[in-house]
Structure formats: structure tokens, C-alpha cells
Amino acid sequence: MTASATRLDRIRERLEQANVDALLVTNPHNRRYASGFTGSNGWLLIPATGSSSPALATDFRYLEQAAQESPEFEIVNMKGGMEEWWGELAKPLGRGRLGFESNDVTVAAHKQLRDVNAKLPASQRPALVQTDQIVEQVRALKDDAELALLRQAVALTDDAFAHAQRTIQPGWTEQRVSWEIEQYARSNGADGMAFESIVAAGPWGARPHARPRDEIIEEGQPIVIDMGARWHGYCADMTRTIVLGEHDETFPRIYDIVLAAHETAAQMVEPGMSAKDADQLARQVITDAGYGDQFGHGLGHGVGLQIHEKPYLGTTSRDTLEPGMVITIEPGIYLPDWGGVRIEDMGLLDDDGFHSFTGTPKLRMIAEPA
């Protein structure tokens, strides 16, 4: 069975649970996941029963590519206005219940969908029903093909970081470091970056989502580098915090707390645990050290075709961790006038626990006993 056929089966199971007869997939990542189609425009219609075949509607630019990349799908030509092809896409469904992706369809798109649908003859007019993240739930558990691509994305990220660490000098700007990382990743096969790299020196690093500035990096400043390559659509995510030259007295103290929090979570996280409790593993270490208020974000998140996917590991999460999820573990401490320390690995959660894909070593600040 092809990867795409297995994915379709997993989606179909959830369609039955959601009490819909078919799902209209408009989210581009979900479309790629379910069909293999990598073009930039298209909708899928996935019936709940395997007996009728799924359909992929796209425009003339992609008809050939769609037939090649998505052999399980009937291809519908999005020719002319929506009223000209909507009936053909929706036809196999008759008067059934058609789920749409409520977190993807805009209010304007929903209005258009409703209006065009209303023009179909009653016997061929599906009922439109809201669904909530059906494909995203399936995507949270990675299959073997995805795990292989995610590992490659991480390996390339490790290499790009090593390259940056070898090259970077005091006097470089944050932007130059970011560009050096991107150039390396792209010239070694990355599709692009999974997100704009964060390179944040000194107090700027106290902002967890700081954008790289045209500012000189000085010796002794902590530098938060959060980066990831994208490989065949799949994202990597890693953070390291380094110092050029001599560090101050604060750095090893803060670094060791964050590292202890990271390692505690990496060793103790396990499937079946709530994502909220997983967050607490690291949060407790940081809180006990007196910096609970300086760890203002969640412990981590799922990663896949998107940089932030299900599950979310944080104090407000309602997700439960399951074997097969790929997650990040990224505690941090941020001191406004000084800077930040964050340490982030990404890896697979299976029945035995967390297995990091990230190969980049972490600094060890604790002095070895004499």
C-alpha cells in the first residue's frame, strides 16, 4: 500500500467518528499530506467510505502534475468560476454531509462555498458541516516516510549550525549570521528555512521570538540561535545558546538550570502523559531554581510539514502525548537586561520515551569534579 493510501485510511476512520460522509480539504499542508500533490492550488474531496474514490480539483497549470503525484485521486479541472466545477467535485456525495475545515476556510470563502453549493439541484446538494482539525490529528502521528524526511531536515540543520559556529566572529551582525545559516542550508539541498532564523545577542535574546537585527554581536554576550531547515516540505527546529569569547558569571548559572530542565523533560516525557504535565517536568526545575516567571512560553510543540503542529506542550494544553509524535523540548530563561538561554532538541516520542534527532552537542557549563 502506498503512503498516501494508508494516510487516506487513517483520515477515513476519523470521518466516520466525525459523522460526515466526506471531507473537503482546503488547507495546503493537509492537501499535500493526504494526496502527495505539491502544487500551490487545489482542493481535495475525501469520501468516508473507501468504495468511492477521492477527488483532487486543481487548475490547468497543475493537471499533469496532479495526475502524476496523486494516482489514487480523480482529477477535476478547476476551469472557470467555482459554479462551473463545484458540481463535478461534489457529485459523488449527492445529498450527504460534507465536512469543511473550519480552521482554514475564511468567512468569505465559506460564503462563496455556501452560495455556489445552494445553486446545485437539491438531489445533488451536500449539507455543509464544520469539522475541527481532522487531518491535523492524523498528521500528529508520523509515518516512516515522514520520520525519514524529518531526520534529514534535522541532520542538515545540525550541519548548518556547525558551519555557522565555525564561521561566526565577534563584529558580525545578527543578520549576517542568519544569512550564513540560510546560505549553507540552501546550498546543501534545503527547500528553504522552516522559519526565519532567530539570532539574538545580549538583551535582544530576552525576547523569545526576536528577529535578527543589523546589530553587531559582541564578545561575552549570550547568543540565542533558533533555526531549522526545510527538507522536502518537512521542518526542523533547534535552538542553541552560545557565547563568543569569555562569558560573564550569569551565563553558566542560567545555562545549567535550562539544561537541567531540558534533560529532565527529555528523560521523563512519555506517551500517555498529558502535554500539560510534560511541560511541568521542565517548568518545575526552572521554578525550583527561582526563575519560573522567566520561562514565559510552552515547553514545545509538534513539528512536521508545519513548524508548529499538534501537540502543543504548555500550561494551557489539552493534548495527550502519543507514541509516533515528533515534538520539540525547548525550555528557556529570559532576563530582560541581560538576555536569554534556550535549548531546543526535536525528536520522536515512542513507547520507550523521547529520542532526539538533534545531533548538535550542548555546552556543558558544570565544572567536572577535580
30 interacts with Zn ion by CB under 5 A:
no
Is 288 within 8 Å of 317 (Cβ atoms)?
Answer: no
226 interacts with Zn ion by CB under 5 A:
yes
Nearest to 114 by CA among 79, 136, 90: 90
The distance of closest approach from Cβ of residue 72 to Zn ion in the complex, given in angstroms and rounded to an integer, is 33
| DSSP state at residue 327 | E
Burial of 26 (0-12, 13-18, 19+ CB in 10 A): middle
- Return d(Cα 19, Cα 16) in angstroms, integer: 5
The distance of closest approach from Cβ of residue 300 to Zn ion in the complex, given in angstroms and rounded to an integer, is 6
| DSSP state at residue 173 | B
Is 130 within 8 Å of 100 (Cβ atoms)?
Answer: yes
Beta carbon nearer to Zn ion, 10 or 207: 207
# chain residues binding Zn ion, by CB under 5 A: 5
Q: Which range binds Zn ion by CB under 5 A, 126-134, 214-222, 251-259, 344-352?
A: 344-352
The distance of closest approach from Cβ of residue 303 to Zn ion in the complex, given in angstroms and rounded to an integer, is 7
Beta carbon nearer to Zn ion, 104 or 330: 330
The distance of closest approach from Cβ of residue 239 to Zn ion in the complex, given in angstroms and rounded to an integer, is 5
Binding Zn ion (rule: CB under 5 A), the pick from 104, 328, 329, 333 is 328
Beta carbon nearer to Zn ion, 30 or 197: 197
309 interacts with Zn ion by CB under 5 A:
no
Beta carbon nearer to Zn ion, 76 or 343: 343
237 interacts with Zn ion by CB under 5 A:
yes
Q: Angle of helix 3-17 relative to helix 28-35, nearest 10 degrees?
A: 120
C-alpha cell at 268: 521523563
Is 30 within 8 Å of 38 (Cβ atoms)?
Answer: no
Q: Which spans of this chain sit near Zn ion (rule: CB under 5 A)?
A: 226, 237, 239, 328, 344
